[in-house]
Amino acid sequence: MNYLTCSLLNDEEIKILKKNLDIDNNSWEDGKKTAGSFASKVKNNLQLNRDSSISKKNTDFVVKKLLTNALIKSFTIPKIVHSVMFTKSLKGMKYGRHIDNAFMSTGRADLSFTIFLNNKKDYEGGDLIVENINTENKFKLNQGEIIIYPSTYLHSVEEITAGERLVCVGWIESYVKSIEEREYLFDIDAAARGMLSKYGRSNELDLIFKSYANLLRVLAN
């Protein structure tokens, strides 16, 4: 399972975030400022200055939500959530095919995420396209939903043909670098928690949780 999509923010939380962004309307700047040398050639969007007080306030809230979501923690095994940005794309803007930097200023990029902050009906175009070998997956999620995918994949954002696309993006450094190893751990954790919910505690289940914890000790870096 290389991708995870789920609900992260409710409507009231989205409302608060967007209200804060409206207050700091003068801090939007050219998104090329934070792109790498290759990505900057295909990046055309706006982003909130990460040093602004509103950006820092919203970032703290988003990071807390990520780190307290049991499903996301199980999928990502997060060590650091970093380089969080709020981006806006207007009509005619897009982000061409690119790969994220392996290292950001505050950590390694193992997983990338996008949190959608407005409704699908608010804009046309703007699909996130994530490529994986011979497949191409498109994502345009509902307000408050998140997509998490490996930072090793090429991806792009289609041109906005109408309206405005508002998202929060960022990166996660995982305790486990390998995509395959994270998937194995995620499957074991999901199965064990499902069995616990359905059947309750047992000696056999204790051994599964023991094995998961010890595997994580071996695989973590």
DSSP H stretches of helix in the chain: 11-23, 53-67, 70-76, 179-199, 203-219
* Confidence at residue 15, expressed as pLDDT on a 0 to 100 scale: 96
* Confidence at residue 26, expressed as pLDDT on a 0 to 100 scale: 81
* Confidence at residue 1, expressed as pLDDT on a 0 to 100 scale: 63
Q: Which fold has domain 4-174?
A: Jelly Rolls (2.60.120)
Identity of the residue numbered 162: A
* Confidence at residue 91, expressed as pLDDT on a 0 to 100 scale: 97
* Confidence at residue 40, expressed as pLDDT on a 0 to 100 scale: 79
Q: 215 exposed, middle or buried (CB, 10 Å; 0-12, 13-18, 19+)?
A: middle
Partnered with residue 75 across adjacent β-strands are none
* Confidence at residue 70, expressed as pLDDT on a 0 to 100 scale: 96
Distant-in-sequence, close-in-space partners of 119: CB < 8 Å, separation ≥ 6: 142, 143
* Confidence at residue 132, expressed as pLDDT on a 0 to 100 scale: 87
* Confidence at residue 150, expressed as pLDDT on a 0 to 100 scale: 96
| pLDDT tens figures, 99-111 | 999 998 888 999 9
* Confidence at residue 35, expressed as pLDDT on a 0 to 100 scale: 75
Question: Can you list the residues of the chain whose pLDDT is less than 50?
Answer: none
| pLDDT tens figures, 24-42 | 778 899 988 877 777 778 9
> Domain-by-domain residue ranges, the chain?
4-174, 179-219
